[in-house]
């Protein structure tokens, strides 16, 4: 999608792509604009005819000319009506094309956002991504509002030039002086405008990013009383954007009057030359009036070209910023493989898996998160992954949901490389629940099913209630007056942290996954509730679901069939909890620390339970 070549070539390709995307719309828009140009010339010619054949003779006392005044009125009225209809058609179809192109770009961006892996999103702030779909999309398409007008009035300019030469070559040459002046003015304008617009568009993204962070961190900001710091941070970025916009405005304020006044200057030149030519008897007064009026009417088409030239720098910048996303590497490729049908859990195997990531910031380069991981998880097993902070636990389990691909090695699901599976195959069999959960501002049912009520293939209410029961959230939801139809606030603001995590677990369980991945998904859940949830998973039947969980509570780790001790991106040991306690000093030290932390969290959990009870009473 990225444009290459000189600024002129990039501008022409940009406009061609936009019109080619919706050819029918732009054919109608340009045709209506061409009709407008032709009728504008027609008005000038009609005015000249009326001057020579009606007005001047009538003033001189010609009775026949006075009788033809109505005919002049009819001709001018018919041309004016056609002119008005062509203007309406041009604006309507140009508006359709402009809106359609913006919609195309926003759809392309959204599709690409969904396709790109999580690793790409981590390197691109959400505020910048939001700005791409709003400000950048509008900037990239701003040129398409005046473009049909500018292209259509080419007919008017060509017709006008021919007519001027037919009237008098000297008048034509005097009128055409404005065109080279326009080219020179635009060249200077582009030189100053392009860098100014580039900075302004970048700062728009920065402002959106700062605002997004402030809104997301509203609770933290209020709790720590840092409103003044956030206000100053936003004000500084907004001030930079204001200065950049002022710079853009200053450049346009100089350029626009030049373009708009060129026809007026040209008209004065034509009148001066026309007076000389009329005085020598080479042209008639009506010819001079026609030429002057024609050049005056060319103010609008020249302004249309000015609008196009004025929007092009901003359009190129916006289009380039969109192209960077649409052309971004890292989109996951899918195969055509299918997982074998089974009612049992998925078997998982890691073969020499390594993961490298690009590091940005002060320490640029490549960082290895996993290296040489060999691990096999039998179908239906429950496995706990433990390790210190930064050991690579989240990286390891995220590979199972294919949020990204390993740099080296393979991840096999039931013996099939995850990269060879068809799109949608992994989400149909694997459910990942992370520590940070997202709750939509919708009903409980919609948040669990992620589908509209009654939509084909959506879980039934009985299945939703069963998932809520397994997540130990059903009693809380039944207490709501609206039950499953109860609305949840923005990001689940009317739920506690533990309740949001249980809702996310129910969202995963309702899909009856063959592999359930819990990445510290019960960190905010009371230990007793966590135990009940894990026991509830066992109620579904032995081997029905393979469970791989990143755990920090030894009571949960002890329930696992196998424990994987991970450290520094590699597997240290694998085995039952008791065996690792006996033979793995690092694991034993880690387990002791986990136990101390679990006791602390349990004490805090008692307070959380009381808070939850108070919230429910308040509701």
The structural domains of the chain, ordered by start, are 7-326 (1.20.1560.10), 348-618 (3.40.50.300)
DSSP 8-state code for residue 406: -
Which pLDDT value is given to residue 75?
74
Return the bridge partners of 355, or none.
370
Which pLDDT value is given to residue 616?
45
Model's pTM, two decimal places? 0.66
Assess whether pLDDT exceeds 70 at residue 224: no
Which pLDDT value is given to residue 265?
75
Mean pLDDT of 560-571: 89
Tokens of 350: 């890691």
Lowest mean pLDDT among 234-248, 283-297, 477-491: 283-297
Cβ-based neighbour number of residue 481 at 10 Å: 7
**618: confidence class by pLDDT, cuts 50, 70, 90:** very low
Which pLDDT value is given to residue 94?
86
What percentage of the chain carries pLDDT values higher than 90? 5
Q: Provide the mean pLDDT of the chain.
A: 79
Highest mean pLDDT among 129-133, 391-395, 536-540: 391-395
Which pLDDT value is given to residue 353?
92
The residue among 261 and 483 whose pLDDT is bigger is 483
For residues 521 and 551, what is the distance between their CA atoms, to the nearest angstrom? Answer: 9
What pLDDT digit, counting tens, does each position of 44-93 carry? 667 767 777 776 677 776 677 666 777 777 777 777 787 788 888 888 88
The residue among 325 and 59 whose pLDDT is bigger is 325
Which pLDDT value is given to residue 148?
83
Mean pLDDT of 554-572: 86
What radius of gyration, in Å, describes the C-alpha atoms of the chain? 35
| Contacts of the segment 300-305: beta carbons below 8 A, 24+ positions apart | 300/40, 300/153, 301/37, 301/40, 301/149, 301/150, 301/153, 301/156, 301/157, 302/178, 302/182, 302/259, 302/260, 302/262, 302/263, 303/259, 303/260, 304/146, 304/149, 304/150, 304/153, 305/150, 305/182, 305/259
Highest mean pLDDT among 306-310, 355-359, 525-529: 355-359
H/E stretch holding 110 reads helix 69-115
Mean pLDDT of 11-18: 87
Query: What residues contact 447, with CB distance under 8 A and at least 6 apart?
Result: 439, 440, 488, 492, 503, 507
Question: Strands 408-413, 570-575: parallel, antiparallel or unpaired by DSSP?
Answer: unpaired
Which pLDDT value is given to residue 411?
92
Mean pLDDT of 405-412: 90
Which pLDDT value is given to residue 354?
92
Mean pLDDT of 379-395: 88
Q: Which of 283, 370, 262, 341 is nearest to 51 (CA)?
A: 283
Which letter, b or e, does each residue of 74-83 get, where b requires 16 or more Cβ atoms within 10 Å of its Cβ? ebbeebeebb
Mean pLDDT of 461-470: 87
For residues 202 and 204, what is the distance between their CA atoms, to the nearest angstrom? Answer: 5
What pLDDT digit, counting tens, does each position of 340-352 carry? 877 788 899 999 9
Which pLDDT value is given to residue 351?
92
Which pLDDT value is given to residue 533?
76
For residues 382 and 534, what is the distance between their CA atoms, to the nearest angstrom? Answer: 10
Assess whether pLDDT exceeds 50 at residue 614: no
For residues 482 and 472, what is the distance between their CA atoms, to the nearest angstrom? Answer: 18
What pLDDT digit, counting tens, does each position of 514-529 carry? 898 988 777 667 767 7
């Amino acid at each position: 999608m990225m444009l290459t070549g000189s600024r002129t070539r990039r501008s022409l390709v940009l406009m061609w792509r936009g019109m080619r995307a919706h050819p029918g719309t732009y054919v109608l828009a340009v045709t209506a604009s061409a009709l407008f140009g032709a009728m504008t010339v027609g008005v000038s010619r009609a005015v000249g005819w009326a001057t020579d054949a009606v007005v001047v003779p009538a003033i001189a006392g010609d009775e026949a000319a006075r009788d033809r005044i109505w005919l002049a009125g009819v001709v001018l009225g018919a041309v004016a009506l056609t002119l008005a209809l062509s203007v309406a058609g041009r604006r309507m179809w140009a508006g359709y094309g402009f809106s359609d192109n913006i919609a195309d770009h926003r759809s392309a961006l959204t599709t690409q956002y969904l396709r790109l892996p999580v690793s790409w999103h981590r390197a691109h702030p959400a505020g910048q991504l939001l700005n791409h779909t709003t400000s950048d999309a509008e900037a990239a398409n701003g040129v398409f509002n005046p473009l049909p007008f500018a292209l259509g009035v080419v007919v008017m300019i060509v017709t006008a030039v021919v007519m001027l030469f037919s009237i008098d070559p000297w008048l034509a040459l005097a009128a055409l002086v404005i065109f080279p002046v326009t080219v020179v003015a635009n060249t200077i304008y582009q030189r100053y405008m392009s860098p100014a617009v580039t900075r302004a568009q970048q700062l728009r993204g920065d402002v959106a990013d700062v605002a997004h962070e402030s809104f997301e961190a509203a609770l933290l900001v209020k709790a720590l009383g840092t409103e003044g710091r956030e206000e100053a941070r936003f004000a500084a970025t907004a001030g930079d954007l204001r200065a950049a916009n002022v710079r853009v405005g200053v450049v346009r304020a100089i350029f626009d009057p030049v373009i708009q006044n060129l026809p007026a200057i040209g008209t004065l030149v034509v009148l001066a030359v026309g007076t000389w030519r009329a005085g020598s008897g080479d042209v008639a007064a009506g010819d001079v009036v026609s030429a002057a009026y024609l050049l005056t009417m060319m103010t609008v088409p020249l302004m249309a070209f000015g609008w196009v030239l004025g929007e092009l720098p901003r359009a190129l910048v916006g289009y380039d910023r969109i192209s960077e996303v649409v052309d971004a590497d890292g989109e996951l490729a899918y195969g055509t493989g299918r997982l074998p049908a089974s009612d049992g859990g998925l078997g998982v195997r890691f073969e020499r898996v390594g993961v490298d990531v690009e590091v940005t910031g002060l320490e640029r380069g490549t960082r290895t998160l996993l290296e040489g991981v060999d691990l096999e998880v039998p179908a239906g097993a429950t496995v706990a992954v433990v390790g210190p902070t930064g050991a690579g636990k989240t990286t390891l389990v995220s590979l199972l949901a294919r949020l990204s691909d390993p740099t080296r090695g393979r991840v096999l699901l039931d013996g099939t490389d995850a990269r060879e599976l068809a799109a949608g195959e992994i989400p149909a069999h694997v459910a990942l629940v992370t520590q940070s959960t997202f709750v939509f501002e919708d009903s409980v049912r919609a948040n669990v099913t992620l589908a509209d009520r009654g939509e084909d293939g959506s879980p039934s209410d009985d299945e939703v209630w069963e998932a809520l029961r397994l997540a130990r959230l059903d009693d809380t939801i039944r207490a709501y007056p609206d039950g499953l139809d109860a609305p949840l606030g923005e990001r689940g603001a009317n739920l506690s942290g533990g309740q949001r995590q249980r809702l996310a677990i129910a969202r995963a369980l309702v899909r009856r996954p063959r592999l359930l991945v819990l990445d510290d998904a019960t960190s905010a859940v009371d230990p007793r509730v966590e135990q009940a949830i894990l026991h509830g998973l066992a109620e579904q039947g032995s081997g029905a679901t393979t469970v791989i969980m990143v755990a920090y509570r030894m009571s949960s780790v002890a329930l696992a069939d196998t424990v994987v001790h991970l450290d520094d991106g590699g597997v240290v040991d694998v085995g039952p909890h008791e065996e690792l306690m006996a033979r793995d000093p690092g694991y034993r030290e880690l387990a002791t620390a986990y136990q101390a932390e679990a006791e602390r969290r349990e004490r805090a959990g008692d307070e959380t339970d009381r808070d939850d009870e108070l919230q429910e009473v308040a509701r």
